Structure formats: C-alpha cells, structure tokens
Chain A
C-alpha cells in the first residue's frame, strides 16, 4: 500500500517513472476490459490510451475513497461509453446486424476458451456489446445504462435480450449442458 501511495504521489508530481509504474500496474487488466468494450484490437488500444490519459489528468481529484482500481475502471468504462457516443453517428448497418460475419467458427462442447468468448462479445453490434458489458459484467441497472448511453430503459432491456440471443446462438448449446448439470 505504501508503494502504491508513493506511486500516486509521484504521478501527482508528474513523475514519468511513477506514471509508468501505475500504467504497468493496471494496464493488463484495463486492456482486458477495453477489449470487451471494443470491436477490435485497435479500438481497444485507443480506449486504453485515452483512458490512461484521463486517469493521469483526473488523478488529483481521486481522494482515496474506495479502491483505486474501481476508480480507474470507472474512468475506462466512461471512456468506452464516450467512444461509443462519438461513433454512434457513424454507425453502419453492418455494425447492427452483421454478427455472423464476424464470428463464424464452430466449436464443440467444452472447447470454448476465454479468447473465443471474448471474440463473440467483441463481435456483438456496438450498442448490444455496451449494454451487455454494462449490465452483465459491470452490474449497471437498465436505468443507469439508459442514462449513460442516452437510450430508454426499454431499449436497454431489448438490447440486452438481443445480445444474449446472439451469444446464445454461439455458446448456448455448450452452456446449457454445463449449467443444467450444475
């Protein structure tokens, strides 16, 4: 804890070495999060970079209340949402409907690994992906999602249902087998 405090102090003093230490501490986890919210590796990289720049900009406002990781995580989620808002005006039809086009591998039961699942989530249409991530993985309510994405609660519910359906098509058979057995 002392060393984290030291790193934070160094970051507040704009010491590049400490900024790098903070980056090294959280970059892997945050890049994993970025990959979930992004459609591609490049987009995840963009979110990662923008997210960390915001972390360093906003660090003076971090008062030590709550876990630092949770605070950083929130910044990255907001960055991903902002990215979505910027992008929403340029959405093509493919972004909405072309799910099969992105993921077309067939897996037998028990062969799915983290990389496959990540690929399925990344391949979801952008709004479905965001809603699914926020609801299923971050624990947001539909009301919160609606406010964040500037959509109605019912749209959020509908997006989530569609996201689950698309994922179910890919994962469903295996998952049903697994969960019925439990």
Chain B
C-alpha cells in the first residue's frame, strides 16, 4: 500500500528527532527514583574491603594449607659460605649434645616450612650435627638440590632414623653449595634501598549515601578516572625473618577527569573578561562544581559550558553575550590534578621465598599537597587554568598490595607490586557542597632495591 505523502514527509522530518531535554528533568526523575523502594547494595568501599579480605584469607589459606615442606625460606643462606656451614653446625650441634631422634622429630613434624628453616634458628646446628654422618643429611642435601622441591623428598621421614655413615660431610656440603649457586638464594639483607615508578589509575570514591552530592548532579556519570604516576625512593629494614618495615619519600599524583564540560576560547586568543589590573589575582567569573570541590579558574582566555548538567556557575554580567557566540571550542572536559609529597610507612610480610619472593604489604602514608591544578582537556603537561578550592593540605592514606620480588643478582632485586591506595580523609574540606570524595589509586609499582 502506498503511503500518504503527508505521512511520508512528516516521518522523514520527525523520525529519529533528537531534542535536548531540560536539565531539571533528570533532577525530577532522580528524586522520584530516590523515593522508590529498592534493594540496597553495599557501597563500593565495602565491596573493595570485602575483596581485600577475601584476598588476605586466600593468601593465608595458601600458606597454611600447603603441604609441609613446600616453602623454603631464604634465611637458610647465611653469611657463612655454604661449604663451611655443615661442618660448622655439626660441631656446634655435637657440643650442645642434642639427640638425633628428638631433632629429627621436630624437623619433620614442624608446621613451618621444613628443616630448612632451622638454618637460622639455634636448632639447625644441632639438627645438622646429629645427622652429619648419616643418610638423613644426605636427604637434606638432596632435598635442597632437587628440581622438584623439598616436598618430593619429605617422604624420606621414615628413613631419617636409620644410621648411614657412608656419606661424607664434604660431599653434602658441596651439593648444598651447588644449590645456593644455582638458585641464587641469598641472605636477606637487613637494610635495602630502592626506587620505584608506579603508573596507575586515579579516581575517587564518593562516600555519600547515594552516588550524588550537590543537587543531584550525577558526578559518577560525569567524571572519570585518569592515568597518572607516582615515583619514590625507599628504604626498608628487616625486623624479623618474615617481617620488614619500609619508609621513604615519594611524589604522587591523584586526580580525575571531568567530562561534558566544553571549553571555548576566542578565535584570536583574546581575554574574555575585563581583568582588574590593580589586583594581583583576578578571578574568572565562572566556577565549576566537581565532586572533589569547586574549581576556581584564573585563566581569562576560556569560557566553560556544561552540556549535561549545571555544574558551571556563571556571573553573566562579566561576559559580552555577543562575543560569547563567536567563541570556538578549544577543548573538551577538564582534568583536576593534586600532586602530593608522600612519606609512607609500610609493613611487609614475606609469604614465599623461592626463586622469586612474594610479600604482602600494608601501611599508611602522610600526603602533603604540593600542587593543585586544573587543566583544559586531558593534557596535564600544559598551563594550568585554575585550582580546586578548599583542598586539604595534609592527608593520610592507606596502602595495601602484593609484591613480587625477582632477584637479579645477589643484592639487587626487581619488584613488581600491584598496589591500592586510598585517602582516609576527603580530598576537599567543603563536603557540604559536593559530598565527600576520597581519592584512590590502583597501580603497579615497579622498581629496584639494593640490599646492604
């Protein structure tokens, strides 16, 4: 059936018609949705905390549920050369008069990593002494040198009590030495110095009851994370075989990208409002509201317009309406950046030491605000156009994560550390206006450390 020409003509014009709805429409919808009964979900913060808790439980489960003897401790290596270790401890053990059966019993039933752990304790000398001329010590060496790891050899338990004097201490010592040379296991240094570079994502957590702060502005949808970096130097001290504490100094960038703010400028790059020449600082007649605080602009060459909400407050008397219409778009969105000097205090727990090491780390950091800048667009290498008002000068942050340690030489270790960091106080003091925003970052810290 042929369509009526009126229908056809009007459909051509109106089909797919798009018209910007008034800004207040969303506010009304949002209010109505707030009043609807709904199922509440855990805030993001608790979900993150729950995920971390699961991770910690998983790591500790891994630790406790692993079969005995599958974890070595690098503390087996001491400053004493391996070739001298066995004869030396043998002599000491004999002097202490330890009984062979008792020591073996403790070695094989220990819930800690197997007898290797004894190397650092006072029990190793006695252990080694009582088996220096027996087959169990041979097993001990075999256990060390095996490519399958100690677990495969722990089944020798029943043989340990059988005397065997055919093996010599020297031969065992050589094999232990070979093991050390091959695996590059070295004594953990008591003091380490390091440097790191950490590219990562930065954003903020809104801690209001809903996702919104000021007048139902949907900040979650209008702001986005940014990629920044942190750098730093650190020193760590070993306070026990498993624990170490780290401090240092760092430079950390936090911030966010604010989307759907159009930035306009004059085609001839002329200032857009009259500057007070008598004043050292002239403020822009516009203010931009973000979840991390209001932005006070100081660049006279830009005009800002919010295309999705009403975050830009304008003193219209300061602008010439006809001139505003001649402006050209120069950027899209703005980026807030907060640069902090950071002094961390981090505790590290060694959960694995094999050819590579694995640590779990957690701690706090003091963050001192050094620079507070706002940029047009995403490029933060250009000139700043303003600053966020009311940002706290000093803040505290919590840090947590894992560290994968790859020994490069005897003293040099390469670290790769998935790290999460969250500020413990809102970035801005003006929470009444915009809600409470806690900056956070997740990054992969990569760096080197050198042990003394």
Contact = CB atoms under 8 A, between A and B. Distances in A.
Interface of A: 13-21, 23-24, 27-29, 31-33, 35-36, 45, 48-49, 52-53, 56-57, 112, 114, 117-118, 121, 135-137, 164, 167-168, 171-172, 175-176, 178-179
B32 A178 contact: no
Interface residues of B, number: 38
Interface of B: 4-11, 13-22, 25-26, 28-30, 32-33, 36, 38-41, 210-212, 218-221, 308
| Pairs of residues from A and B, 3 with the lowest C-beta to C-beta distance, nearest first | A17-B220, A32-B17, A136-B7
Interface of A is mostly: helix
16 contacts: A15-B220, A16-B212, A17-B211, A17-B218, A20-B218, A20-B220, A27-B25, A31-B21, A32-B16, A32-B19, A45-B22, A49-B28, A117-B13, A136-B6, A136-B11, A171-B10
Given A136-B11, A176-B5, A48 B25 contact: yes
B33 A13 contact: no
Given A136-B11, A175-B6, A13 B41 contact: yes
A49 to B, nearest CB: 5
B25 to A, nearest CB: 6
Contacts of B5: 175-176, 179
Nearest to B34: A16
Nearest to A137: B11
A17 B28 CA distance: 15
A118 B30 contact: no
Contacts of B218: 16-17, 20
Contacts of A21: 221
A20 B26 contact: yes
Contacts of A171: 6, 9-10
Contacts of B26: 20, 23, 27
A25 to B, nearest CB: 10
A16 B206 CA distance: 12
B18 A29 contact: yes
A136 B4 contact: yes
A16 B220 contact: yes
Given A14-B38, A16-B220, A20-B221, A27 B21 contact: yes
Contacts of A167: 6, 10
